[in-house]
Amino acid sequence: MKSYKKSEELFEKGSVNLVGAVNSPVRAFNSVGGKPLFMKKARKSTITDVDNNEYVDFVLSYGPMILGHGNKKVAKSVNKALKKGYSFGASSEGEIKLAKLVCDAFPGVDKVRFVNSGTEAVFSSIRLARAFTGNDKIIKFAGCYHGHADSLLVAAGSGVATLSIPGSKGVPEDAVKNTLIADYNDIASVKAHIEANKDIAAVIIEPIAGNMGVVLPKDDFIKELRAITKENGILLIMDEVMTGFRSKFGGAQELLGIEADITCLGKVIGGGFPVGAYAARNEIMNMVSPLGPVYQAGTLSGNPIAMACGYRTLKQLQKEGVYQGFEARAKEIEGYLLDSAKQYEVDIVVNRFGSMVNPFFTSEKVENFDDAQKSDQTKFGVFFWELLENGVSVPPSQFEAWFLSTTLSDKNMKNTKKAIFKAMEKVSLI
């Protein structure tokens, strides 16, 4: 049995001055039980906790460490930038270089505005969509997470078409009165809102849902969504904070055969530093200050260190064969999950998109948030801790995607396979 003594001590110590001893709720391990682990270092495909337990890392800071931890070329670029200054509060060439890379990677994108987080990118894009269309309402999908802005922390009530209610204390009803909830992969729920409301500014969606686990859109759903938004003068916002540059050099929307009006980015484009962005064609982006009337600002936006890290990360992802390698590794892990579940007679569904993977402990297809919630979270908790015990770290939630890095070795894969089979055997005993 691994010892987590130092993590437990830090949890107690951290609880004095930090809320729950963490700075983001999922780190608290509430959904898997037990106390959170504290990490002290990471290198390539592994991460090490304060008790010196080493794990193959499939969390990867929830996605951005796509090249693994401590990539030499990225570190060299960051160190070079650090010597020149941490923050200028003024423009620098690095912003222009990264902006060109991003715009070239997304068809239909002419300009980008860098911000500091995915949350900031999303609420800025919604403000922009409202200004561009002159309408106030937005449609989001149950189970899609777009950051913690008030208007997006919304849970749907019972029934097909419901009034929005706040999904967090401290969010007033007035803040979400213009947010409508639709069901992922259910185009009828979107059409019902459009028919009942003539003042919809935008529909926002994760092209591949990554916060209810990995859930893929049905082909007819995503293409019809694009068609009906165009027909009704509604902007389509793609939240690619998680999927951007994860499964191809560019966005998931291109793989799905659609093109958004506004794209939100984060994670990988910062390479591990805090970065977000929103981007669109000139007609839309030229409404943003200082060119237009939509105000949005940030002292640390376009931070030179973050720009250097993001640029060097993306340049390495342009290399031939990177994404083919991802596809092969992810398919192997999908196979480990399915084969182990079959061997130990455990009901499981595995959803995968490129380098994002997620197992659900259920026998039914998972195509929306309701489906995801039917999976057995008790089994997932057992599975999670047994993986840790055998040297594999995955997100401490049934509803978070596993992420792969380019640094996964054959040895990592062998250890991961062994850990998955042992964890599945433990689950079968419940």
DSSP string, 296-320: ---TTTT-HHHHHHHHHHHHHHTST
The better pLDDT of the pair 369, 158 is held by: 369
Residue 83 to residue 74: CA distance in whole angstroms: 15
Q: What is the pLDDT of residue 161?
A: 32
Residue 395 has pLDDT above 80, yes or no: yes
Compute the mean pLDDT over every residue in the chain, rounded to the nearest whole number. Answer: 94
- The CATH number assigned to the domain holding 96 equals 3.40.640.10
Q: What SS3 state is found at 142? A: coil
Q: What is the pLDDT of residue 193?
A: 97
187-211 pLDDT, tens digit each: 999 999 999 999 999 999 999 999 8
pLDDT exceeding 90 applies to what percent of the chain?
Answer: 89
Q: What is the pLDDT of residue 172?
A: 75
| Residue where a domain stops, chosen among 288, 317, 346 | 317
State yes or no: cis peptide before 290, omega within 30 of 0.
yes
Cβ-contact 247, 355 below 8 angstroms:
yes
Cβ-contact 140, 152 below 8 angstroms:
yes
Q: What is the pLDDT of residue 302?
A: 96
Provide the domain limits for residue 10.
5-70+320-428
Q: What is the pLDDT of residue 412?
A: 98
Cβ-contact 129, 237 below 8 angstroms:
yes
Same domain? For 272 and 165 the reply is yes
Instruction: Tell me the CA distances in angstroms from 18 to 4, 10, 47, 150, 386, one per residue in order.
Output: 20, 11, 23, 23, 28
Same domain? For 149 and 245 the reply is yes
Residue 99 to residue 272: CA distance in whole angstroms: 17
Same domain? For 137 and 14 the reply is no
Looking at 137, 140, 248, 267, which residue is catalytic?
267
Side-chain-side CA neighbours of residue 205 (13 Å): 32
Residue 186 has pLDDT above 60, yes or no: yes
Looking at 239, 261, 371, 376, which residue is catalytic?
239
| Residue where a domain stops, chosen among 275, 290, 317 | 317
93-140 pLDDT, tens digit each: 999 999 999 999 999 999 999 999 999 999 999 999 999 999 999 999
- The CATH number assigned to the domain holding 373 equals 3.90.1150.10
Same domain? For 327 and 302 the reply is no
Looking at 4, 55, 62, 145, which residue is catalytic?
145
Residue 56 has pLDDT above 50, yes or no: yes
Mean pLDDT of 31-57: 97
Q: What is the pLDDT of residue 160?
A: 27
With vertex at residue 262, the alpha carbon angle to CA 261 and CA 265, rounded to the nearest 5 degrees, is 145
Same domain? For 136 and 253 the reply is yes
Same domain? For 66 and 76 the reply is no
The two three-digit tokens of residue 329, written as one number: 């590794």
Same domain? For 305 and 378 the reply is no
Order of strands, edge to edge, in the sheet holding 46-49? 39-43, 46-49, 54-57, 392-393
Q: What is the pLDDT of residue 167?
A: 64
Same domain? For 63 and 99 the reply is no
Same domain? For 84 and 10 the reply is no
| Residue where a domain stops, chosen among 299, 317, 335 | 317
Question: Is 239 annotated in the active site?
Answer: yes
Number of domains comprising the chain: 2
Polymer length of the chain:
430
Same domain? For 183 and 295 the reply is yes
Same domain? For 355 and 406 the reply is yes
Q: What is the pLDDT of residue 175?
A: 76
Instruction: Tell me the CA distances in angstroms from 117 to 68, 149, 269, 284, 285, one per residue in order.
Output: 20, 12, 11, 21, 18
Same domain? For 102 and 240 the reply is yes
Residue 206 to residue 191: CA distance in whole angstroms: 18
